Amino acid sequence: MKNKIISTLIIILVFTFYVEAKYVRFAVNMQNSGMLNSNDAYMSSTFQSAIGMGGDLTHGFLHLTQSTTDTNIYSAIYNIPAFQMYEYQFEMGVAGYDMENIPVESQSLLNGYRWLYIDSLSNDTLNLPAVYYSGNNSATEIMYRIKVNMSNESVSPDGVHIAGNFQNNDPASTIMYSFGNSVYEYMAYLDPATQIEYKFYNGNTVVTSEIVPSACSQGGNRIIALVDSAQILPTVCFSDCVNCSPLITTNIGDNKLFDFAPNPMEDASTLTFNDNALSHSVSIIDMQGRTLKQINHITSNVIEINREMLAASCYFLQIVNDQNETSMLKLVIE
């Protein structure tokens, strides 16, 4: 009788795990990695202990198999507990003798690895793009990291979602994830040279959509005019054109955290960071909320901002540091 009870408990535990788990296919394109041995592709992740494949982020347990149709692609499928965020990275060699350098655009805000949030228990397999080793993009798609600040909203128990023409405008299928700072994120892999329309939802139904101001919308949607290069889009507030963090809109020279001169600008100005952060990204945004230029992963404390082809007008200069703290500054070009 005792053995029967133990067997029943084991069956229940195994059943519970698989009910709450999701199959995920991880893939990497090793074309530019310099890898010579077809058996050398591995990955490590924070889900390893949960599935009994070594300790989290240990080497040599998660082996990737070379594709027979495209020998640059290596992949593996794992059944992972759902409704959690995981970090991972691709490696070469059973001992992890070479680990990829993950671009800042693809990094988790926790430890700098790649990341994903598993939000589904559906029976299908989640196929992640085969991104280039140490890269953001796949061979056919470009990564855009999209963020919305929900600090002025009471977030729905159903979560924050994004929907657009890149995923059939379905507000129920694409949830966003927050690293605990009221900013929700989604990594979108988009077709190059396309125009993307999207909006955010405080919930997962059509009636929970934001109302995007006309100054930064087209047909009521936010716009990526032309998908061209991997980037982190400027954080915006739900139903607003700019971030809802405390904003600095006076002359930046009055702010001790930054120095920007000359402002107004004619040809170029110098931006100096005094906030002790290790890295920054800077975006130039027009009065319609469109991102005209973005410079990512600035690790020096001084950078020159060039006018280039910008017309004489007023703009916003958005600065985001590695703590996801944002300042919005007024830039005048004469």
Number of domains in the chain: 3
Task: State the CATH number of the domain containing residue 179.
Answer: 2.60.40.10
Q: What is the pLDDT of residue 245?
A: 55
Task: State the CATH number of the domain containing residue 273.
Answer: 2.60.40.3080
My answer on whether 173 and 111 are in the same domain is no
Q: What is the pLDDT of residue 45?
A: 98
Q: What is the pLDDT of residue 204?
A: 97
In a domain? residue 245: no
Distances (CA, A) of 77 to 46, 119, 276, 278, 280: 15, 17, 41, 36, 35
Last residue of a domain, one of 132, 158, 185: 132
Distances (CA, A) of 187 to 14, 63, 239, 252: 32, 24, 20, 31
In a domain? residue 152: yes
Residues in the chain with pLDDT values less than 70: 1-19, 245-256, 287-290, 324
My answer on whether 125 and 31 are in the same domain is yes
Q: What is the pTM of this model?
A: 0.71
Q: What is the pLDDT of residue 260?
A: 84
Cα–Cα distance measured from residue 184 to residue 197, given in angstroms and rounded to the nearest whole number: 18
3-state SS record for 26-60: EEEECCCCCCCCCCCEEEEECCCHHHCCCCCCCCC
In a domain? residue 229: yes
In a domain? residue 307: yes
Cα–Cα distance measured from residue 148 to residue 187, given in angstroms and rounded to the nearest whole number: 12
Q: Where do we find the tokens 């600035």? A: 298
Last residue of a domain, one of 132, 167, 192: 132
My answer on whether 89 and 117 are in the same domain is yes
Q: What is the pLDDT of residue 206?
A: 97
Using CB atoms within 10 A of its CB, is residue 7 exposed (0-12), middle (13-18) or buried (19+)?
exposed
Tokens of 63: 């082996």
My answer on whether 180 and 116 are in the same domain is no
In a domain? residue 159: yes
My answer on whether 118 and 146 are in the same domain is no
My answer on whether 100 and 151 are in the same domain is no
In a domain? residue 243: no
My answer on whether 150 and 185 are in the same domain is yes
My answer on whether 88 and 50 are in the same domain is yes
Q: What is the pLDDT of residue 256?
A: 66
Containing structural domain, residue 294: 252-333
My answer on whether 181 and 199 are in the same domain is yes
Distances (CA, A) of 266 to 38, 99, 185, 260, 262: 54, 44, 35, 13, 8
Q: Tens digit of pLDDT for each residue in 149-173?
A: 999 999 999 999 999 999 999 999 9
My answer on whether 43 and 110 are in the same domain is yes
Find, among 282, 318, 280, the residue nearest to 297 by Cα. 280
Distances (CA, A) of 169 to 163, 201, 221: 5, 11, 11
Last residue of a domain, one of 177, 212, 237: 237
My answer on whether 10 and 82 are in the same domain is yes
My answer on whether 157 and 219 are in the same domain is yes
Cα–Cα distance measured from residue 231 to residue 313, given in angstroms and rounded to the nearest whole number: 24
